A = this chain, B = another copy of it.
Amino acid sequence: MIFGTDDARHPGVSHFYGLAEYFVGGTVELRERVALEFSAYEKTPAETRAYFATMGWRTVVGFQTRNAPHRAHEYLQKAALELCDGLLIQPLVGRKKPGDFNPAAILTGYEALIRNYYPAERAVLTVLSTVMRYAGPREAVFHAIVRRNYGCTHFIVGRDHAGVDGFYDKYAAHRYSESFGPDELGITILRMRGPYLCLKCESITTDKTCPHGDADPTYSFPISGTAIRKMLEEAAEIDTRVIRAEVVEAIRRLPRPFITE
């Protein structure tokens, strides 16, 4: 099973059930490149590979996202970037579910983040136009293979990658990705834990490098999508420990940060 479940409450399963009765297979050929709202951010695999070569990046870590960036994302990307030459941030734009970030919010947020907090010669932002399947582990590996095709040598699989509503164990994608041999995927998967702000360490960290969150949950200050959303929607004070002020300010200027229908 693609989704590991046939529960129709799963958005991928429900979408699949809503399709017509037949699937057509065969060789796929590109007849015409469709112009999309965010085509300006699109680079083909040949273009990203050429860009990496121009920049002299021999190792490039790819980051998949469907969220506006908060400091947990920044932590994962920067930890990986300390050990790689370059970073490809490639948000997925395409059909997603209500409540997800609009692509404009994700791109605006990342532009603000990169402009203010990343060395220009180390990070590049492009989009991947496809749909989210919310297929968890299998989609995590699919996401990695796609980024290999774009020229990445490494790919971050984090907590509950491509998961939805608790349908998958939060590290099921780590385990599934380990079932492939080291050279089988053609890309190195970086299995990273879910970051939180540790009030004892006084920094963003994970349960792999910090002992406090597991021992005493009061130390662990979660950086949750829900909290971030609240900060974006309301005129509340920005907690810069969890999200950069420049990111919030840029997104707040947009009329509609979230998918509503």
Q: Which residues in A have some Cβ–Cβ distance to B below 8 Å?
A: 76, 78-83, 117-120, 122, 190, 192-193, 200-211, 214, 240-241
With both beta carbons as reference points, the residue of chain B lying nearest to A202 in the complex is identified as B240
The interface residues of chain B lying within 8 Å CB-to-CB of A78 are 79, 205, 209
Instruction: Say whether, besides A202-B240, A204-B203, A118 and B209 are in contact (CB < 8 Å).
Output: yes
Secondary structure class of chain A's binding surface, majority of residues: loop
Contact B80 A201 (CB under 8 A): no
Q: Are B79 and A82 in contact (CB under 8 A)?
A: yes
User: Are A210's CB and B117's CB within 8 A?
Assistant: yes
With A203-B204, A204-B203, A240-B202 already in contact, the answer to whether A209 and B119 are too (CB < 8 A) is yes
In the complex, what residue of chain B is closest to A203 when comparing beta carbons? Answer: B203
| A106 → chain B closest CB, angstroms | 21
Contact B79 A211 (CB under 8 A): no
| Cross-chain contact A193 with B117 (CB below 8 angstroms) | no
Q: How far is the CA of A94 from the CA of B15 in the complex (A)?
A: 66
Contact A82 B193 (CB under 8 A): yes
Shortest distance from the beta carbon of A33 to any chain B beta carbon, whole Å: 34
Q: In the complex, are the beta carbons of A192 and B117 less than 8 A apart? A: no
Question: Roughly how many angstroms separate A7 CA and B203 CA in the complex, as a whole number?
Answer: 43
Known: A81-B209, A83-B83, A118-B209. 14 other contacts (CB 8 A): A76-B82, A78-B79, A78-B205, A79-B82, A80-B83, A82-B206, A117-B201, A117-B210, A117-B211, A118-B211, A119-B207, A122-B208, A122-B209, A202-B240
Whether B119 lies near A190 (C-beta < 8 A) is no
Q: Which of B82, B118, B206, B211 sits near A192, CB closer than 8 Å?
A: B82
> Is B192 in contact with A83, judged by CB distance below 8 angstroms?
yes
In the bound complex, what is the Cα–Cα distance between A240 and B203 (angstroms)?
Answer: 12
How many angstroms from the CA of A180 to the CA of B162 in the assembled complex? 39
- What distance in Å separates the Cβ of A79 from its nearest Cβ neighbour in chain B? 4
A142–B205 alpha-carbon span in the complex (Å): 32
Q: A212 — nearest CB in chain B belongs to which residue?
A: B117
Neighbouring B residues of A79 by C-beta, 8 Å: 78-79, 82-83
Let me know if B240 and A209 touch, CB within 8 A.
Answer: no
Question: Which chain B positions have C-beta within 8 A of A204?
Answer: 203
18 A-B pairs with CB atoms under 8 Å apart are A78-B79, A78-B205, A78-B209, A79-B83, A80-B82, A82-B192, A82-B193, A82-B209, A117-B200, A117-B210, A118-B211, A119-B207, A119-B208, A119-B209, A120-B211, A122-B208, A122-B209, A203-B204
